[in-house]
Amino acid sequence: MSLLSINNLSVSFQTDRGVVQAVDQVSFDVDAGETLAIVGESGSGKSVTALSILQLLGDAGTISDGQIVFDGQNLLDLPEKDIRNIRGDRIAMIFQEPMSSLNPVLTIGKQVAEPIWLHRKKTWNEALDQAEELIKKVSIPDARQRLDAYPHQFSGGMRQRVMIAMALACEPKLIIADEPTTALDVTVQAQILSLLKNLTTELNSALILITHDLGVVARYADRVAVMYGGRIVESATAAELYKHPKHPYTEGLMASIPTLDGEPGSRLQTIEGQPPDLLHMPAGCAFHPRCPYAAEICKHAKPSLKEVEANHFRACVGYESIS
């Protein structure tokens, strides 16, 4: 059985200009210890999917359908009190902006010790000792003194290390990292992702990595789910997806990245058109207005995810009608 199993998840948002269907019938599994990357462009629904798992959508967002089964339990059936017990304990989250996700008026020590004290029922001193260990573990020098420092005294990379220490505090089974390094420079990004990957491997935790960076995915993910217009259009192992993309969108995406061996002055392949407007989502397949293979059927039928090869899933009716 999978550690996390999401079935037919749908999330909508009430906005001033109408209802937005941000996530539409999304299903995927995450096994213990594996790293799943969810990739997609802005507005594809990848972050909303991640936030739904811990029900952090705020007042405007509603989970209208589906199940989120974690460790055999549907999280959507649980009362808020029980969800709060899971957050930061068995499932932890790391956000993009470490400055706005740390409390500026609390010391680093307090923030890292809090989940241990709260979930593990340790005394405050024990929790602080453990916090010091964690800060050492994420390679922040002078851990003891740093416990008394405030977030503004840290650089962006160091703050993200603190976030990782907090996330790992209770040795969660699942860590969700939403664009954890987008705000950081590349040399620091490499340090942070490598640290995160090593520590999750050590704990045998599963990692859901939300990103738009196809290079990061290639380096760190075991499996990849590609989202477009609120739906998963393709999922496979990372090696397989990059080598044999099977959905026209993934294909276009892979082809549009500048590569090492491109001829000087050569033009990149592009995906024509613009990403869909969430308020006016195209009928049928959301990608059909930009798809070079779009057939008549694509304008009406919403394709569902089907296994086209072992462990390789694709949602495309156009292809089915061709072959």
| Of positions 91, 214, 278, 294, contacts another protein by CB under 8 A | 214
227 within 8 A of 44, measured Cβ to Cβ: yes
Q: How far is it, in rounded angstroms, from Cα 136 to Cα 130?
A: 10
Per CB under 8 A, which region of 98-106, 111-119, 266-274, 312-320 contacts another protein?
266-274
CB of 46 to another protein, least distance (A): 12
Name which of 221, 177, 216, 206 is nearest 46 in CA terms. 177
Q: In sequence order, which residues have a C-beta less than 8 Å from that of residue 204 and are 6 or more positions away?
A: 32, 33
Closest distance of CB 17 from another protein, Å: 12
Q: Shortest Cβ distance from residue 233 to another protein (Å)?
A: 13
CB atoms within 10 A of CB 12: 20
The closest of 265, 262, 269 to 245, measured between CA atoms, is 269
Q: Please name the residue that has the structure tokens 């024509």.
A: 272
CA-nearest of 4, 25, 26, 28 to 236 is: 28
Is residue 145 a contact point for another protein (CB under 8 A)? no
CA atoms within 13 A on the CB side of 16: 0
Binding to another protein in span 157-186, by CB under 8 A: 157-158, 185-186
Of residues 244 and 300, the one with the C-beta less far from another protein: 244
The answer to whether residue 268 forms part of the interface with another protein (CB under 8 A) is: yes
Give me the 21-60 binding string for another protein, x by CB under 8 A, dash otherwise: --------------------xx------------------
Q: Does residue 227 interact with another protein by CB under 8 A?
A: no
Reading the block at residue 33, the tokens are: 């210890």
Q: How many residues touch another protein (CB under 8 A)?
A: 46
Q: Which is nearer to another protein, 7 or 191 (CB)?
A: 191
d(CA 174, CA 207): 6
Instruction: Give the contacts of 133 (CB within 8 A, at least 6 positions apart).
Output: 143
Instruction: Based on the shown chain and the rule CB under 8 A, indicate whether residue 99 belongs to the binding site for another protein.
Output: no
The nearest distance, CB 254 to another protein, in angstroms, is 7
Binding site for another protein (CB under 8 A): 41-42, 155, 157-158, 185-191, 194, 212-221, 238-239, 242-243, 252-254, 256-260, 262, 264-265, 267-272, 274-275
